[in-house]
């Protein structure tokens, strides 16, 4: 998967702004824009550690920052990840974000960090709202407004689509997209089911005891996504 970046704090002026980055090339990109006060090889930096230094553009300082390091698999997304803690303010945050993008990161879509956490089997069941965002790209309030709560027997269909790895051979990719090869990796099916049904409980239906039919599938696709179909019958 690509390395993504996004501003994690709410828009506007504040004491601190946080720019979050996640993916295989996180530390490689960070090394291009961040100069720590104490130089140290990334292999020597422990996860859950913080470094003080400057984010620069063409050797000119943009801001003094604190960078938190999270090494795979012990991060929110289970990938290499960092959080750049800058002074709050739209201009500073945007400048740091631009440097990350110029150095090779891609702009994160809304909810994409949580999406990766879910697909990598890391999501916390307490983050039900994040799961609803993942499924519907809406808030839990919007989901409640758009669903008529079902009261009778309920059937549920869940399809978890995993992105075909970029290194996959052409013939294997064809077989994957034809659903002749399925993903054998985390999250496993029972975790997928539990996370989604717990999130939808009391929103799409009154209680998950109403579910009398359940079909779940893990498959490969061009893009990662989760499809959920709930019907009363």
- Tens digits of pLDDT across the chain (233 residues): 899 999 988 777 777 889 999 999 999 999 999 999 887 787 788 888 888 999 999 989 999 999 999 999 988 899 999 999 998 888 999 999 999 999 999 999 987 888 788 788 776 544 545 455 545 544 555 545 444 445 678 888 888 888 898 899 999 999 999 999 999 988 788 888 887 777 677 666 777 788 889 999 999 988 777 788 887 77
Is-contact 179 220, C-beta < 8 A? yes
- pLDDT number for residue 32: 95
Round to whole Å and give the CA distance between 76 and 57.
28
- pLDDT number for residue 41: 80
- pLDDT number for residue 131: 52
- pLDDT number for residue 136: 54
126-232, which class in CATH? alpha beta
CATH for 4-108? 3.30.1360.120
Check if 4-108 and 126-232 are the same fold. no
Give me the phi and psi of 112, to 5 degrees please. Answer: -70, -30
Q: What ranges do the domains of the chain cover?
A: 4-108, 126-232
Is-contact 133 196, C-beta < 8 A? no
- How would you classify residue 74: left for phi > 0, otherwise alpha for psi between -120 and 50, otherwise beta? beta
Is-contact 4 108, C-beta < 8 A? yes
């Amino acid at each position: 998967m690509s390395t993504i970046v996004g501003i994690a704090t709410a828009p506007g002026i504040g004491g601190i702004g946080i720019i979050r980055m996640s993916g295989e090339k996180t530390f490689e990109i960070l090394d291009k824009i961040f100069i720590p006060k104490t130089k140290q090889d990334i292999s020597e930096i422990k996860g859950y550690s913080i470094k003080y230094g400057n984010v620069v553009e063409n050797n000119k300082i943009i801001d003094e920052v604190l960078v938190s390091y999270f090494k795979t698999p012990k991060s929110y997304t289970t990938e290499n990840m960092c959080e750049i803690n800058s002074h709050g303010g739209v201009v500073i945050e945007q400048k740091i974000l631009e440097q990350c993008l110029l150095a090779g990161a891609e702009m994160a879509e809304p909810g994409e960090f949580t999406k990766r956490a879910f697909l990598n089997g890391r999501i916390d069941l307490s983050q039900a709202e994040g799961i609803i965002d993942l499924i519907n790209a809406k808030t839990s309030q919007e989901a409640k407004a758009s669903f008529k709560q079902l009261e009778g027997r309920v059937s549920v269909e869940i399809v978890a689509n995993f992105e075909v790895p970029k290194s996959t051979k052409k013939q294997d990719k064809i077989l994957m997209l034809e659903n002749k090869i399925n993903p054998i990796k985390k999250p496993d099916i029972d975790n997928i089911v539990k996370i989604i049904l717990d999130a939808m409980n009391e929103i799409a239906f009154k209680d998950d005891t109403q579910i009398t039919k359940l079909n779940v599938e893990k498959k490969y696709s061009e893009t990662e996504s989760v499809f959920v179909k709930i019907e009363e019958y």
